[in-house]
Amino acid sequence: MRPVLFAVLLSTLAPVAAQAADPHSYAQPDEVRVRHLALDLRLDFPHRVLAGHATLTLDWIDPKAAALVLDTRDLAIAHVEAIDGEGHTSPLPYTLAPRDAELGSKLTIAAPSHPAQVRITYATSPAASGLQWLAPAQTAGKRQPFMFSQSESIHARSWVPLQDSPAIRFTYDAHVSAPANVRVVMSALNGAGHPLDGDFRFDQPHPIPSYLLAIAAGDLAVRETGPRSAVYAEPAVVDKAAHEFEDTERLIATTESLYGPYAWGRYDLLVLPPSFPFGGMENPDMTFATPTVLVGDKSLVSLVSHELAHSWSGNLVTSAAWRDIWLNEGFTTYVQGRITEAVYGKALADEEALLSARALQKSIGTLPANAQRLAPEPRGIGADDALSDVAYDKGSWFLRTLEQRFGRADFDAWLKGYFHRHAFTSITTEDMLADLESNLLDAHPGKMGWDEVRAWVYAPGIPKDAPLPTSPRFDAIDQARAAFLAGDLPAARLDAQHWNTQEWMYFLDRLPDDAPLAKLRELDAAWHLTGTPNAEIGMRWYSHAIAAGDTDAWSAAREHMTRIGRIYLTVPVYRAFAATPAGLAYAKAAYAQARDGYHPLTREAIERVFAKAERSKTGAAK
């Protein structure tokens, strides 16, 4: 190890030590580790609970360990028992600690005899943070209720008692009982032809971290999109989704050609109702996806490229703690760009990279210094907060820089080897840096120094010499925007009839925050942005229109933000409304009507916007 790298590691010793104990989990994996999870659960739609038991197969590491410590949040524990090697059971005493607002309740099970298995019988809360239960009226078909999970980051503990840390990987199997005619799917191999008989069984033979544990159930139809891929969605949506995602097999084959075999068997997609709080979730074997990408022209299928890329970066090689989440998201965003380039062309890949880079340049300076680092000190960083644009966009920018310095051929060889060397393991930033040193920097000396690596990983901000892609289309849009704002180019003469979604996003993103109302109304009259079905364009347009005082757009903005539960597309519109007293009152009234249809994570994000606005109003009054 070269001295300068040792200095880097030494300088981050405190964060690494804190991370070893995972500040976001009560688990004690140095004493005992869960190796396999067996679930037997019953879906109860009327009461909005999952009930049954979880059987944990254990690896006792410390001979002196006296207890199994698990993470839970709002679980009703009925009883706990040990299971010996011959299947005999005996009760185990346990204590459930008071609830911590972020971490939930520590479950301590006294087990000095080190049983091979422990079974916990329990039920979830109707308000479980990792589950959303939808009434039939909240679905596309309006015939049956729907339920889905979102375990990332530390919400698996709200529906399964387990060691809820990305450092701990386990295999699992499950038996789920459901009402007849309801289809259940999980983050495991799913059978498209499974009868809807209320009896579902699943097996995930590969070790996964807890945040990739997933379940959904509802009125789901299936369309095959390739020899190892299918789309699951409500019947009213499934054909549109199958068309949008018809390139899935091509995407899988392209990624395999770059980074090695796909390890998970199948890659299916589940299109969820609009309340899903994220764009996509990379659950193994079955990505959960937002319906907001179904715009008809495949312009937003980079989401599929992103979630598919996680099959290598994140699911195969996993960050060991939330402080290291850039190893998942930054690597995945880089791989997403490579897939998009190979399948849809370099121009689109460069546009998407430039969009994210420009947005990060605009926002990163507003963040605390620690939050600007790829590998922040974990103290004060919540698990959900770690999933920021810094992890995604600064991380991928760093990898694009490495590619530029070392050349694509050598960088690709390193990245493919990195995925192979660390397959089915959870690693830290420092593990990744050691691999980078041994297998890229030392193999090609003189192309990048460790001081530069340190600046990217441990320093706040973006290095001044960070390379940016170029886009002639974006350059032309910059010129057109400037001419439009200066009054030299009428809105109707913008060459926008052939702009793709990314180009509209870029045009709107680079409008000034205080764009004049008259110019925005001229733009809307020419291009009919109010009422757009494209949520990416809508979010940006409504944020500008509201900020400029265009009350004519309020009704359409309300329809947008109450129809869509994806945090990224909804919260900015609420934030724009919350900037004025009248807008805040309007947004609160809209939220009161829509609240029950939002996911708990979306509700939390919106309520934070309101709380901040109220604090600002109180401060101004003083």
Closest CA to 391 of 378, 376, 403, 369: 376
| Residue 139 tokens, joined | 């679905």
Q: How far is it, in rounded angstroms, from Cα 306 to Cα 74? A: 32
Q: DSSP assignment, residue 460?
A: S
Residue given tokens 């892609």 in the structure block = 469
Closest CA to 101 of 599, 604, 615, 614: 604
Strand partners, 201: 175
**Planar angle of CA 247, 248, 253, nearest 5 degrees:** 100
Contact 537, 529 (CB under 8 A): yes
Closest CA to 559 of 536, 542, 540: 542
Q: How far is it, in rounded angstroms, from Cα 584 to Cα 581? A: 5
Distances (CA, A) of 78 to 91, 130, 452: 11, 20, 54
Residue 307 appears among annotated catalytic residues = yes
Q: What does the DSSP assignment read for 193-229?
A: T---SSEEEEEEEEEEEGGG--EEEES-EEEEEETTE
Q: How far is it, in rounded angstroms, from Cα 523 to Cα 352? A: 24
Q: How far is it, in rounded angstroms, from Cα 123 to Cα 580? A: 43
Strand partners, 91: 81
Whether 329 has a binding-site annotation, put simply, is yes
Active-site residue (options: 81, 234, 282, 307): 307
Distances (CA, A) of 286 to 192, 229, 258, 408: 12, 9, 21, 30
Q: How far is it, in rounded angstroms, from Cα 241 to Cα 620? A: 48
Active-site residue (options: 392, 418, 458, 586): 392
Residue given tokens 């903005």 in the structure block = 557
Peptide bond into 153 cis (omega under 30): yes
In this structure, the strands spanning 280-281 and 286-289 are antiparallel
Indicate the Cα dihedral angle 21, 22, 24, 30, nearest 10°. -60
Q: How far is it, in rounded angstroms, from Cα 160 to Cα 123? A: 9
Whether 306 has a binding-site annotation, put simply, is yes
Q: What are phi and psi of 602, to 5 degrees?
A: -70, -45
Q: What are phi and psi of 145, to 5 degrees?
A: -70, 170
Contact 289, 270 (CB under 8 A): yes
Query: Which stretch of DSSP H or E encloses residue 149?
Result: strand 146-149
Contact 301, 240 (CB under 8 A): no
Q: How far is it, in rounded angstroms, from Cα 184 to Cα 194? A: 10
Strand ranges across the sheet with 49-60: 89-91, 76-83, 117-123, 49-60, 32-44, 169-177, 199-209
Q: How far is it, in rounded angstroms, from Cα 493 to Cα 363? A: 31
Count of Cβ atoms closer than 10 Å to residue 159 Cβ: 29
Binding residues for Zn(2+): 306, 310, 329
Binding residues: 306, 310, 329
Residues that are catalytic: 307, 392
